[in-house]
Structure 1
Amino acid sequence: MEIKHVEKPAKSSRFHDFWVSFKKQKVSLISAVFLLLLFIVALFGQYFVPYDPAKVDYGQLFLKPSAAHLAGTDAYGRDIFSRILVGARISLSVGLSSVFLGALAGSALGIISGYFGKWIDSLIMRFCDILLAFPGMLLAIGIIAILGTGLMNVIFAVAIFSVPVFARIVRSSVLEMKSSLYVEAAKSTGAKDTRIILKHVLPGTFSTIIVYFTMRIGSAILIAAGLSFLGLGADPSTPEWGAMLSDGHNYLNTAPHVTIFPGLAIFLTVLAFNLLGDGLRDALDPKIKD
């Protein structure tokens, strides 16, 4: 008797389903390409910049944008385009590092708060309410006033500013999963809380964390640039976008390009992260349909 082999239809992977949904978001896809190029520039920009970003040339002060200097030169004759390319590494590093720390601490607090509830939930949420009561920039300035100036302290300040946001978002996801059948089934079999959290609850929060992580990077870059603009972040000589804005704001009437191009870099980067976050949310959230 001949046994026929029946081929089962291949199941589409989660990544395939995500990609099919994500590539429909044209604006988000363009933002992803832009950010990919920006990360390449951040990693390798120092090797192909047209000029030394730290070289001072007093014979080339305030040159307007041209073929030789695409974004012109600043008050010290330094090439602005080269400084923007090199500064991409600093701004992205600050944004990614601060949001990563904030997401790590905030997600842990959110999982503990949502899963265990009771007085632990109340204590953590009241702590988050205190942090959220302050405007983001004001809270960051207060933390910098305690820790001191410098990029490392800016990272910690922006990280603390991000903690309550992640804590509240993750808590809401955990509360929803906590009452699901598979969590209840795991509890009924006698599984420990640690195992349930790591195997069932934590994976269910990944999509939410990824979306808000992406969107939060833009806010972090904006806050970090604002602190540097106020003289509380990067050293003024550093090619950091906020510090470059601070250098150029005194010359808005005579040489506006000194401020326009760093500001444009911040604007496009923050916008790209926000648009990418919107696209990821639509692609990862099964409740959102076209």
Structure 2
Amino acid sequence: MSTQIESLTASPGSPKRKVSPLQYPAVVWQFIRRWPVIPVGILATLVFLAVFADFVATHDPNDQNLRSNLARPAWDNDYYENDRVGSKIETRHLLGADKFGRDVFSRVVFGTRVSLSVALVSMISGTILGAWAGIMTGYYGGLFDELMTRFVDVWNALPFLLIALVVSITVGQSVTVMIVLLIMLTWVGLVRNVRAEVLSLKTRDYIAASRIAGASDLRIMYKHIMPGITNLLLVLASLRVGGLILTAASLSFLGIGIPSRIPSWGAMISDGRDTLDEAWWISFFPGLGIFLTVMSMNFLGDWIRDRTDPRLRQLQD
């Protein structure tokens, strides 16, 4: 056990030293501070629930049972609820049920799949689109740079909530519409950061050597500039996932996001806002899922930034 702890905490090239059993808590705490153990553990658990939702869920998320209307969680003292006749029925709901008798635990599990899928697809698509827009803007410059920059300024000035409301009314509510809206929100936020980095990279000597060697603009952007902004994209993408989940939950809460027939965290919070005083669990557990996901992604993004920035890494080492 001591050998494993030494190998985990010791820096490369440093001599191994023995750790006494009394020092184990301090060593473990140092390891947790150095590596994102808790955020990765939370995200791994959420990904597991999302992938295996069909096996983890105890009920059909849309199965309604009015006899279990507002059934309390299983650990509550009132584990048995009285129906209208007066007989006792067993609720069998781990996290309680909503006003339609739908199992909250199952809806939270399936809502994890929906929320993470929407955020992941939107983040990847928006990052790719914003990265290439920023690369081309910074690399070519001139009139193209001016037009793209002004377009980004105009787009950022538009109220996103109003755009989402108009699109939801005219096109309708669906997961695809939600993903498209989040992509439109994501890519413009990356253009300026990527453009600033590319303006610095394109003046390097190896870029000039590639031009002299006859490399095309597309090859230079793909082979030489793209690897130089990879760390920046990883940090920005990880930090924006939490914002995308909050945005999707906000739109669903307002009724202009994912359709209500599809379980999602934002829609569940909206369903429970009228019964917070008597059925707090309907909104609390999906809100807890949003909180854990956003905080974990923010901590993970901060760790990636610290590890990929040479100046911060030297301070840590």
With the length of structure 2 as denominator, give the TM-score of the two structures. 0.79
In structure 2, the partner of 1:19 is: none
What letter is aligned with 2:292? L
- The DSSP-based 3-state class of the residue aligned with 1:59 is helix
Instruction: Indicate the percent of aligned positions where both proteins have the same amino acid.
Output: 38
| Alpha-carbon distance in structure 2 between the residues aligned to 1:135 and 1:270 | 23
- The DSSP-based 3-state class of the residue aligned with 2:68 is coil
Match among 158, 165, 168 for residue 141 of structure 1: 165
- The DSSP-based 3-state class of the residue aligned with 1:91 is helix
| Alpha-carbon distance in structure 2 between the residues aligned to 1:181 and 1:146 | 51
| Alpha-carbon distance in structure 2 between the residues aligned to 1:25 and 1:129 | 39
Q: Which residues of structure 2 form unaligned runs of 5+? A: 1-11, 13-30, 76-91
| Alpha-carbon distance in structure 2 between the residues aligned to 1:28 and 1:114 | 34
Shift of 1:214: 1.4
In structure 1, the partner of 2:5 is: none
1:35 matched to 2:43? The reply is yes
| Alpha-carbon distance in structure 2 between the residues aligned to 1:238 and 1:151 | 9
Match among 49, 53, 58 for residue 45 of structure 1: 53
| Alpha-carbon distance in structure 2 between the residues aligned to 1:62 and 1:158 | 33
In structure 1, the partner of 2:258 is: 234
Cα pair distance change 1:147/1:180, threshold 3 Å = farther
Shift of 1:65: 2.0
Match among 127, 135, 155 for residue 151 of structure 2: 127
1:277 matched to 2:301? The reply is yes
In structure 2, the partner of 1:93 is: 117
Between 1:110-119 and 1:245-254, the stretch displaced more is 245-254
Shift of 1:135: 4.7
8 Å CA contact 1:106–1:166 kept in 2: the answer is: yes
1:115 matched to 2:123? The reply is no
| Alpha-carbon distance in structure 2 between the residues aligned to 1:47 and 1:75 | 24
| Alpha-carbon distance in structure 2 between the residues aligned to 1:267 and 1:27 | 21
What letter is aligned with 1:165? G
Q: How does 1:1-290 map to 2 (within 5 A)?
A: 25-26=33-34, 28-67=36-75, 68-289=92-313, 290=316
Q: Deviations over 1:38-87 (max 9, x none)?
A: 11110112112122222211111112222443321110111111110111
8 Å CA contact 1:38–1:88 kept in 2: the answer is: yes
| Alpha-carbon distance in structure 2 between the residues aligned to 1:97 and 1:206 | 18
- Structure with greater Cα Rg: 2
Q: Deviations over 1:221-254 (max 9, x none)?
A: 1111111111112222321111111111111122
| Alpha-carbon distance in structure 2 between the residues aligned to 1:181 and 1:62 | 67
Q: Which residues of structure 1 form unaligned runs of 5+? A: 1-11, 13-22
Count of matched residue pairs: 269
Shift of 1:190: 2.9
- The DSSP-based 3-state class of the residue aligned with 2:94 is coil
Shift of 1:115: 0.5
What letter is aligned with 1:219? G
| Alpha-carbon distance in structure 2 between the residues aligned to 1:79 and 1:234 | 19
Cα pair distance change 1:235/1:148, threshold 3 Å = closer
The two structures, once aligned, show a CA RMSD in angstroms of 1.9
Cα pair distance change 1:29/1:124, threshold 3 Å = farther
With the length of structure 1 as denominator, give the TM-score of the two structures. 0.86
